[in-house]
Structures are given as C-alpha cells and as structure tokens.
Homo-oligomer: A and B are copies of this chain.
Amino acid sequence: MNGSSMWEAVSGIIRRDLLLAMRRRSDAAMSVFFLVIVVSLFPLGVGPDPVVLRTIGPGVLWVAALLACLLSLSRVFTADYVDGALEQMVLVPQPLAVLVVGKVLAHWLISGLPVVLLSPLLGLQFGLSGESLGVLVMSLLLGTPTLSMIGAIGAALVLGVRGSGLLVALLVLPLYVPVLIFGAGAVTSSMAGIGGEANLSLLGACLVLSLFLAPWATAAALRIALE
C-alpha cells in the first residue's frame, strides 16, 4: 500500500511492456508506419495540388495520428486478457487505477512518442512552416497522451467482446473529437498567424482532466470485464 511498493508495481508494469515491445520491435514501429502510410496515401487519393495539401495538412496529420493511436491502443489489454495476465494485474495489492496509468504510459512511450517525434518530418511534406511545425509538435505532445488515456477506457470496455476492433473505434472516436478540434485548430490558427496558444492551453486542460478521470473509468471497466 505504501508509495515505494506502488512505484515498484507501476515501474514493473512499464518495464515489462517495454521489454515486450523490444521483443517485437516491429510492433512498436507499427504506429509510426501507419502514420506515414495514411499521410502518404492522401496525396495519392486527393491529388498533388500544393495549396490544397497545405490547407488539409494539419487536419490530415492529426487525424492520422489519432487513428494510429487508436489502433495501437485498442489492443493494450487484449493480450493480457487472453493469456490471463490481466487477472494477475487486478489481484496486485495496489490500486488498479495506478497500474492502469503505468500501462497507458508504457503504451504512449512505445507508440505515441515516436509519432510526436516523426510529425515534423511529415508536416514538412505538407509544406508547413517552421513555426507551425513547432505548434504541431506541441499539440501532439499534449494531445496524444490524452488520446491514450481516453482510448484505454474504450479498450477496457470491449475486452472479450467480438468485433471489438471496430466497436472500440465507435466508442472512443466521439470522445476524441474535442482533442482533434483543438489540436488541428492550434496548427491551423498558427498557420493563419493567430497563434495557437488558446487551443494549446485547451489541450492541456483536456490532458489534466483525462489524467484524473480516465484511469478510474478504465479500472472500473477492467474489473467489469473480468467478472
């Protein structure tokens, strides 16, 4: 119950998940790869007009990042559920919500952070300027953890449910909408010269909110799934 053993459990979870990711290095590369693919498919589908591409750039990047996060996230708990590791996690003598934070954090490190780091490169492809690129990175840095937190709720809710891949999308995407609007809005308004601060601080607020609420909801959902 005390702080140090709680920390030990959380860091244990993070370490294990990072180890697993190392074992399957390609899985970790997956979300980055997905981002690159979706972003590059667009010019193929939409046509190469640079003006159009610049206009839609922030939106496409954000949507792609959002989908990448969602897809990689929808399976955070599935493997643990199927092989019984989740039962063991619920029976750990620490509050489940704290362990959930660890799990989500590990996930973000594996698949969210690379997306953030890669984004400026993709932004360049869409002709974003230097300052907008900065705002893009900032917005993703604040936004993707929120996405992970919210996504974890959905992932936990659909455990053991068939066709869960798409159900989780249905559950989670509506909740992603504000983040998307603020995130893409930040970049767009910085491109329009208004500066993205207002939107960025809204993103920050979303992050704080989700950090406080999502772990509890996720923990509740996990317990329900195991009944």
Binding site for B on A (CB under 8 A): 20, 23-27, 29-31, 33-34, 37-38, 41-42, 44-47, 49, 52, 55-56, 58-60, 62-63, 66-68, 71-72, 75, 82, 162-167, 169-170, 173-174, 176-177, 180-181, 184, 188
Contact = CB atoms under 8 A, between A and B. Distances in A.
A40 to B, nearest CB: 9
A161 to B, nearest CB: 8
A71 B168 CA distance: 12
B46 A169 contact: no
B63 A166 contact: no
A60 B176 CA distance: 19
Contact of A72 (B41, B68, B165, B184): B165
A173 B37 CA distance: 7
A192 to B, nearest CB: 10
Contacts of A169: 30, 33-34, 37
Contacts of A49: 55
Name the residue in A58, A63, A184 with the highest tally of chain B Cβ atoms < 10 Å from its Cβ.
A63
Contacts of A166: 26-27, 29-31, 33-34, 68, 71-72
Contacts of A180: 41, 44-45
Please tell me how many copies of the chain the complex holds.
2
Contact of A163 (B27, B45, B60, B82): B27
B30 A163 contact: yes
Contacts of A24: 162-163, 165
A33 B170 contact: yes
